[in-house]
Amino acid sequence: ISAGRAAKLLDISRWDLSDLMSEAGISPFAEVTAEELETEVEAALKVLDSQDNEGCHE
């Protein structure tokens, strides 16, 4: 689950969740390959682009 969702379920801020994870030795970053990261970035950019295009229809 996302960090935001985890924090919400725990009823704490994302900053507090980050602190808890750090204290427990849990990295907030999943171990992914460069290819997986590139795929994620491309997908995020497509979403942002589609949101920008939706805003242009005024």
Successive 10-residue mean pLDDT values, the chain, 58 residues: 88 93 84 85 90 68
Cβ atoms of 10 and 17 within 8 Å: the answer is yes
Predicted confidence at residue 57, as pLDDT, reads 53
d(CA 58, CA 53): 10
Predicted confidence at residue 34, as pLDDT, reads 86
Structure token pair of residue 2: 């996302």
Predicted confidence at residue 33, as pLDDT, reads 84
Q: How many domains does the chain have?
A: 1
Domain of residue 36 covers: 3-55
